[in-house]
Amino acid sequence: MDKKYKVLIVEDEVKLARFVELELKHEGYDVVIANDGRTGLDMYFSEKPDIILLDLMLPQLSGIEVCRRIRKESDVPIIMITAKGEVMDTVTGLDSGANDYITKPFAIEEVFARMRVALRIINQEKRERDENVLSIKGLTIDKSSRTVKFNDNVIELTKREYDLLLYLVTNKNIVITRDQILNKVWGYDYIGETNVVDVYIRYLRTKIDDKYDVKIIYTIRGVGYYAKDE
Residue closer to Ca ion by CB (options 55, 89) is: 55
> Residue 34: which region, alpha, beta or left (left: phi > 0; alpha: psi -120 to 50)?
beta
The residue of the chain with the least Cβ separation from Ca ion equals 57
Bridge pairing between strands 224-227 and 217-220? antiparallel
What is the nearest approach in angstroms of Ca ion to the Cβ of residue 12? 5
Residue closer to Ca ion by CB (options 32, 182) is: 32
Residue closer to Ca ion by CB (options 81, 166) is: 81
What is the nearest approach in angstroms of Ca ion to the Cβ of residue 138? 48
What is the nearest approach in angstroms of Ca ion to the Cβ of residue 86? 10
Residue closer to Ca ion by CB (options 55, 209) is: 55
Cis omega (within 30 of 0) for bond into 105 = yes
CB 181 within 8 A of CB 167: yes
What is the nearest approach in angstroms of Ca ion to the Cβ of residue 108? 17
Question: How far apart are the C-alpha atoms of 217 and 207, rounded to whole Å?
Answer: 12
Residue closer to Ca ion by CB (options 43, 208) is: 43
CB 70 within 8 A of CB 48: no
Residue closer to Ca ion by CB (options 90, 200) is: 90
What is the nearest approach in angstroms of Ca ion to the Cβ of residue 104? 9
List all residues 6 or more positions away from 122 whose beta carbon is below 8 Å from its beta carbon: 75, 76, 77
Determine the Cα angle at 69 with ends 65 and 71, to 5°: 115
Report which DSSP code applies to 53. E
| Residue 110 CB-half CA count within 13 A | 11
What is the nearest approach in angstroms of Ca ion to the Cβ of residue 32? 18
Tell me the backbone φ, ψ of residue 35, rounded to 5 degrees.
-105, 5
Binding-site ranges for Ca ion (CB under 5 A):
12, 55, 57
